[in-house]
Amino acid sequence: MELFRDIVRRLLMLALFVILFAGIWYGVDSFRQGSASLTEWQNTVDLRQSVCRRLHNEIQKNYAELAAIPFYRVDLRAVKNAEIRSGEVLYHKALQEYHAARESLEKARTATAERGRTIRANYFLPAVLTGVAALFLLPFLLKLVMYFLVARLAERLPPVRMKGELAEQPLVFTPGSTALEVAVLPGSPLFLRAGDWGKKRTGVTARTRFMWSWQYPLVTLAAGLSELVEFSAESGKRSLVTVTSPEPDIFIAKIDLNGGSVVIRPRFLVGVAGDVQIRTRWSFHWHNLLSLRIRQILLSGTGFILVAGAWGVDAARPEAGQDWRIEDDLLLGYSADAEYALCRTETFWHYFRGKTSLFDQRMQKGLFFTRHNRAGSPGKSGNFLERTVNALLNAVGGLLGF
């Protein structure tokens, strides 16, 4: 649910940035249009002014030529006077057009200035102030809506139960420890992660297994169950493998399926042994939609699986009329006959301050497996872009059951 809230918040912030950008672009475009209009009128004024200067110079030249004509050449002086009168008419007409262009230029300048003040007062500044205020208030308003509206409605919904997935026999859980010894039976190889998982073994042979399940390559790759080490029992020998945690705060636990089924988050898987099949189920119940986990990955069969969690791995089965609350990030998996639902955290202030998640998982039936602590704080480090990408990737992973 935290991923859902984080994605909604980031989408709203993106919408606010788009609105701010649109307001700024509108203001810039308006100023650009005003500047283009002023430039056009200025060019017109300059053109009219150059025409007036040229006509004035021609008139002055004609006056100089008239003074040079002898007084007794009446015919030439009459022609020159006619040219002067015609030039003066054109000059006065051009001068009127020049003054009209100057007046239009001043009006355009006044209109542009008034338009700029109007944009700043009615569009630009209110948009910027509203956007800045929304950026500060949006997370708090979103938390209020999510807590008092969405979460309140969600916890009133009926619980979720996977139909037709009842376990034939109870799952057997071996508590977690930093070193776990498991037996490898003939014909039931053990597949373990390679790398830092320290291993001690006796009576087994090892070889490389590139993919645990070729039928579900994406699940296998997302769970890190590729390039595994396959341990097979040697005939006539006692075959044991000791799986050691690479870090002192990571605990390893064993879950014997015994013909039953378990919903597990693949990233917590360390190893698989025996007859274990993988299946997927899609659930569009409101609890799954709000928690962004609509695809569930089931492991079933007669073998066992190894899971790892920070600071310990536990299992619990609620009694009749009892339910358990646990943070969603701490849940590793649960049996296929479990009933679960989202419930709102009781402490609003801690959720409002970001110290706890909005929803807990309420387990009402079945067996569920938990870790004691988170391994780090996902989505809290890095810049805005990194946190956004991480939130989107985590949301996609949650939707696909990872």
Q: Where are the domains of the chain?
A: 2-154, 164-399
Supply the pLDDT for residue 383: 45
Supply the pLDDT for residue 105: 73
Is the model's pTM score more than 0.85?
no
Supply the pLDDT for residue 125: 66
DSSP E strands in 27-96: the ranges are none
Cα–Cα nearest to 37, from 119, 118, 96, 116: 116
Extract the tokens encoding 323.
């339910």
Q: Tell me which architecture the domain covering 164-399 has in CATH.
A: 4-Layer Sandwich (3.60)
Supply the pLDDT for residue 318: 82
- Which whole-number Å values give the CA distances from 209 to 8, 89, 206, 272, in the listed order? 41, 102, 9, 12
Give average pLDDT by consecutive 10-residue segment, the chain, 402 residues.
56 67 64 66 77 81 80 79 82 82 77 69 66 72 84 84 58 85 87 75 86 79 78 83 84 88 85 86 78 79 88 82 80 84 85 81 81 54 47 51 48
Supply the pLDDT for residue 361: 83
Classify 267 as helix, strand or coil: helix
Supply the pLDDT for residue 146: 84
Cα–Cα nearest to 52, from 99, 84, 108: 99
Total Cβ atoms within 10 A of residue 269: 24
> Is residue 187 a contact partner of residue 260, using CB atoms and an 8 Å limit?
no
Supply the pLDDT for residue 358: 82
- Which whole-number Å values give the CA distances from 95 to 56, 60, 64, 103, in the listed order? 10, 16, 22, 12
